[in-house]
Structure 1
Amino acid sequence: MAGHGAPETAVPDATGLTLGIAATAWNAELVDQMLGRAREAAADAECAEPAVLRVAGAVELPIAAQALARRFDAVVALGVVIRGGTAHFDYVCKSVTEGLTRVALDESTPVAQGVLTVDNLEQAVARAGYPDSTEDKGYEAVVAALGAALAIRSLS
């Protein structure tokens, strides 16, 4: 499991910040769990209720994130990509990662990647923020995005 060296999750006070969440329809049960945890993180941070934009799959996340980044202070992308027997997994993961990074840089808006890229369903469940999960990537992504937005705001 990843996570070595990760900072403790400290929820920032994000009062006044706005948040957009792009979430996939693929692997809906897992993504819905992550979305619920993301909404809880936003509430814990005193952030306004996030706007949620649903898209079909992970490849559509960057364009959805870009639309959100033009309207909100921070953006989170949520999805689950499970490795199959073809190279499709590699292409999708690379495309999503590069696309979300480009959106963040082009729009000067934090875009946190809460996209699970895993070998199997068990790994996804372990990271999706269920009560017995070892990680909570939906929650962590919101904390990261809001923290980055606050850090950028502190420069002005």
Structure 2
Amino acid sequence: MAGFGEPGASAVDAAGLTVGVVAARWHGDLTDHMCDRAVAAAEACGARAVVARVAGSVELPVVAQALARRCDVVVALGVVVRGATAHFDYVCRSVTDGLTRVALDEGKPVAHGVLTVDTIEQARDRAGLPGSAEDKGWASTVAALDAALAIRGLGATNGHRLGFGG
């Protein structure tokens, strides 16, 4: 857990946007809370939340893609704890690659709020529980909404070209 350099998780004005939240049921005591925090962040930003639940983190990308087709942003939430086998590496890679692909293929912000940790204590410290150092449910939602607003702002350039060769 880095715990430093975060740009802040204050609310943004995302009135009228819809946030698709997909959360794994594995480690439900943590993901339930993270999901509640994501919904609270969406509401604090003036957005509407749609929630879907899946068994585990590997299932997040496919449901994130379905949500991206009907929502402005998606927030994927889960907990993957390192074990004694390579399974952790495969799951983390699959989830990260899948969520990145969804974001790029659908052209929508997809927040990676999956906690990939060595211990359950590290997950608790990032899940937004009372006394936690971080609140990934809230922060992931605000970050995704902020990205959607940035994309919307790019469309409001009044015909000015962005980048090189304009």
Separation of aligned partners in 1, 2:130 and 2:108: 31
Q: 2:158 aligns to what?
A: none
**Structure 1 counterpart SS, 2:31:** helix
CA distance in structure 2 between the partners assigned to 1:73 and 1:38 by the alignment: 15
State the partner residue of 1:42.
42
Task: Name the counterpart of 1:130.
Answer: 129
Instruction: Map Cα deviations across residues 75-128 of structure 1 (whole Å, 9 max, x no partner).
Output: 000000011110000000000000000000000000001000001110000000
1:92 maps to a residue whose letter is: V
- Contiguous gaps of at least 5 residues in structure 2: 156-166
Code of the aligned partner of 1:110: P
Give structure 1 regions of 4+ aligned residues with deviation exceeding 4 angstroms.
none
Residue type of the alignment partner of 1:12: V
Partner of 1:139: 138
- For 1:113 and 1:107, the matched residues in 2 are separated by 15
CA RMSD of aligned residues (A): 0.8
User: TM-score w.r.t. structure 1 length?
Assistant: 0.97
Paired with 2:52 and 2:8, the residues of 1 have a C-alpha distance of: 29
TM-score, normalised to structure 2, is: 0.91
Structure 1 residue ranges without an equivalent (≥5):
none
SS at match of 2:116: strand
Instruction: State the Cα distance separating 1:4 from its structure 2 match.
Output: 2.1
Q: 2: CA distance between counterparts of 1:42 and 1:120?
A: 28
Would you say the 8 A contact 2:9–2:138 is kept in 1? Answer: no
Partner of 1:21, secondary structure, is strand
Note if 1:109 corresponds to 2:98.
no
Within-5 A mapping of 1:5-154: 5-48=5-48, 50-154=49-153
Q: Distance in 2 between matches of 1:135 and 1:6?
A: 10
Q: Percent identity?
A: 63
Cα distance in structure 2, aligned partners of 1:134 and 1:38? 16
CA–CA distance in structure 2, aligned partners of residues 2 and 88 of structure 1: 23
Please tell me the residue identity of whatever aligns with 1:129: G
User: What's 2:162 paired with?
Assistant: none
Tell me the SS of whatever aligns to 1:131. coil
* Matched position secondary structure for 1:84: coil
Match of residue 160 from structure 2: none
